[in-house]
């Protein structure tokens, strides 16, 4: 435990993963090196039984604790979805509600550990392995015990698919072949219409639109109190210069996410010369009032992560998010069945507000693109706690396989029960409940996300719409786990965010960027790049043998 707490002091775990679960006391296995084949009761549960009356787990069922992420909730043991999942896999399912104090690092430091956890970024793996948290999950075990899942990884996984969970030659999780689209550019259409503006297609046109949002009173209140954009759109500006420098749902730049070049060589985009060009432009826009001066505090002030309160409350006219955050599967903004959670909130606060979706602007060399989530998302791992009871391990493999082989079960785990948690619509399944309330019902708590098979079978309308309204995406690259990354990334994150925010807000001159680059390299950036590049080459060579 002393070694365990010492490793936690590196703080990667606490920063990357904002969730926590408590494991139950379980009998130890004789051989923990490899779980046995699924028991007859688990194997027999593979057929769809979502229509059967749920009874919950048997009296001797093992407890399974599961961490999803920072949107987790403590499930209601009596919820019907929970009982259906528990009955099918004969487990006593538990998850924990998460808040700012109830983080995974706090739970781990207190001696608690979940059975199943989603790893936020592969850079965390070395500390989690050294700290005794993650247990090896051999690819051969996944192939044997979750054959339908493994078949999907072969069919839809890319060349670097398995590299995301490998550390020192061992696999520590089950990545998922995801169906994702890039972020979309959301404009206040009512502002565009009032000012007789067209959707911009280039950086120059975007600049003109942002200036109009600032100077021409788009909300009609007679006051000079509107801005063009804030930090969530920064990713599209960097994208216009060929870089994946993103903030996403948080206000901070995701420095831990490297970029994969066209030559398949990973690099840190933060120190490229093009980044200096973007910072020069953003600093100019900030100085002219086109960027919300409070961008440092972020667009979200509480509630669902992807809500932009600045956008909803007439402060900025442009934001960036996944298409489904606002519209489910079409451009109709008059039908509430087509509203995502952000559109529902926008209309609730401002009924006269409307949105238009635009493509990311093209830069001086014709480049464009927005943040795109990874194609091997939901890095789901088993802990050493899980391997104290082979029933938990076998149940996990059965749940994983069912998500790929039984679309009724996959829909139950992801959407819940028809006419209770979701309803049919021309746009596909539409959620009736959202957020914490939905998760307390057991929905979205043990699912594996929008995998390719799930999306093709359950939400094809959503996929088609997303592909139609988004342009190029700069996909997240899961850097292979190397010690240098874990040891230095906290320093690099702090250094980069401070420098970028200072330059954009004119607290530092643009020439400070050159000094920052040298500091970044000397603080471990250069050694990380080299280590990641070498490890990726080694892994690819091993996988291609």
- Residues 13 and 129: their CA atoms lie apart, in Å, by 11
Q: Which residue has the higher pLDDT, 158 or 216?
A: 216
> Residue 287 contacts by C-beta under 8 Å, 6 or more apart in sequence?
506
What are the domain boundaries of the chain? 2-177+377-406, 184-372
Q: How far is 497 from 100, CA to CA, in rounded Å?
A: 21
- Total length of the chain: 545
Q: How far is CA 324 from CA 257, 423, 430, 541, in A?
A: 23, 16, 11, 38
R_g of the chain computed on alpha carbons: 24
Q: Distance between CA 508 and CA 274 in Å, rounded?
A: 18
pLDDT digits (tens, 9 = 90+) for 83-129: 999 999 999 999 876 665 566 777 778 888 999 998 877 888 988 99
- Displacement of CA 202 from its chain's centroid (Å): 28
Asked if 197 contacts 285 with a C-beta cutoff of 8 angstroms, the reply is no
Decide yes or no: CATH 3.40.190.10 for domain 184-372: yes
Would you give the distance in Å from CA 39 to the centre of its chain?
A: 33
Does pLDDT of 12 surpass 70? no
**What are the tens digits of pLDDT across the range 308-341?**
999 999 999 999 999 999 999 999 999 999 999 9
Whether the per-residue pLDDT at 148 is higher than 50: the answer is yes
Rounded CA gap, 84 and 69, in Å? 22
Q: How many Cβ atoms sit within 10 Å of the Cβ of residue 433?
A: 16
CATH for the stretch 2-177+377-406: 3.40.190
- The answer to whether the 2-177+377-406 and 184-372 domains have the same CATH topology is yes
pLDDT at 360: 98
CA–CA distance, 94 with 73 (Å, rounded to integer) = 10
pLDDT tens for 420-462 read 999 999 999 999 987 788 888 999 989 999 999 999 999 999 9
Query: Considering the chain, what percentage of its residues have pLDDT values greater than 90?
Result: 71
Specify the pairing of strand 370-372 against strand 355-358: unpaired
- The predicted pLDDT at position 99 comes to 60
């Amino acid at each position: 435990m002393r070694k365990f707490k010492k490793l936690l002091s590196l703080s990667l775990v606490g920063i990357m993963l904002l969730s926590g679960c408590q494991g139950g006391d379980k009998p130890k296995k004789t051989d923990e090196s490899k779980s046995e084949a699924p028991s007859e009761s688990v194997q027999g549960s593979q057929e769809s039984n979502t229509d059967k009356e749920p009874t919950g787990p048997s009296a001797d069922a093992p407890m399974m604790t599961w961490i999803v992420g920072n949107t987790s909730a403590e499930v209601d043991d009596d919820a019907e979805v929970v009982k259906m999942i528990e009955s099918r896999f004969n487990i006593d399912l538990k998850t924990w509600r998460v808040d700012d104090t109830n983080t995974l690092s706090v739970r781990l430091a207190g001696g608690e550990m979940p059975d199943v956890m989603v790893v936020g970024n592969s850079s965390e793996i070395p500390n989690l392995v050294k700290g005794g948290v993650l247990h090896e999950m051999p690819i051969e075990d996944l192939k044997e015990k979750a054959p339908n899942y493994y078949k999907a990884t072969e069919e839809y996984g890319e060349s670097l698919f398995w590299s995301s969970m490998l550390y020192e030659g061992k696999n520590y999780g089950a990545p998922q072949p995801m169906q994702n689209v890039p972020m979309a550019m959301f404009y206040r259409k009512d502002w565009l219409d009032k000012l007789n503006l067209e959707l911009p297609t280039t950086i120059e046109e975007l600049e003109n639109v942002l200036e109009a949002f600032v100077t021409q009173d788009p909300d009609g209140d007679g006051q000079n109190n509107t801005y063009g954009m804030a930090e969530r759109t920064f990713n599209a500006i960097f994208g216009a210069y060929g870089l994946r420098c993103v903030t996403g749902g948080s206000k901070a730049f995701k420095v831990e996410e490297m970029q994969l070049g066209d030559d398949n060589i990973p690099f840190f985009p933060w120190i490229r010369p093009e980044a200096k060009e973007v910072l020069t432009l953003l600093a100019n826009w900030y100085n002219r009032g086109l960027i919300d001066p409070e961008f440092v505090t972020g667009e979200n002030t509480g509630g669902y992560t992807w809500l932009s309160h600045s956008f909803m409350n007439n402060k900025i006219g442009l934001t960036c998010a996944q298409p489904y955050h606002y519209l489910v599967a079409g451009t109709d903004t008059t039908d509430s069945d087509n509203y995502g959670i952000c559109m529902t909130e926008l209309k609730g606060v401002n009924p006269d507000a409307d949105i238009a979706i635009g493509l990311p602007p093209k830069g001086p060399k014709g480049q464009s693109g927005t943040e795109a989530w990874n194609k091997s998302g939901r890095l789901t791992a088993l802990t050493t706690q899980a391997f104290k009871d082979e029933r938990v391990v076998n149940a996990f493999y059965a749940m994983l396989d069912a998500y790929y082989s039984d679309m009724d079960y996959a829909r139950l785990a992801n959407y819940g029960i028809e006419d209770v948690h979701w309803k049919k619509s021309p746009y596909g399944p539409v959620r009736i409940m959202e957020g914490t309330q939905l998760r307390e019902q057991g929905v979205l708590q043990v699912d594996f996300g929008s995998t390719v098979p799930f999306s093709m079978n359950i939400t094809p309308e959503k996929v088609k719409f997303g592909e139609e309204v988004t342009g190029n995406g700069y996909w997240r690259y899961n850097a292979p786990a190397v010690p240098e990354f874990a040891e230095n990334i906290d320093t690099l994150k702090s250094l980069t965010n401070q420098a970028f925010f200072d330059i954009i807000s004119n607290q530092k001159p643009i020439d400070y960027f050159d000094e920052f680059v040298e500091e970044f390299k000397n603080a471990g950036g250069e050694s990380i790049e080299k280590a990641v590049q070498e490890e990726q080459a080694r892994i690819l060579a091993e996988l291609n043998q």
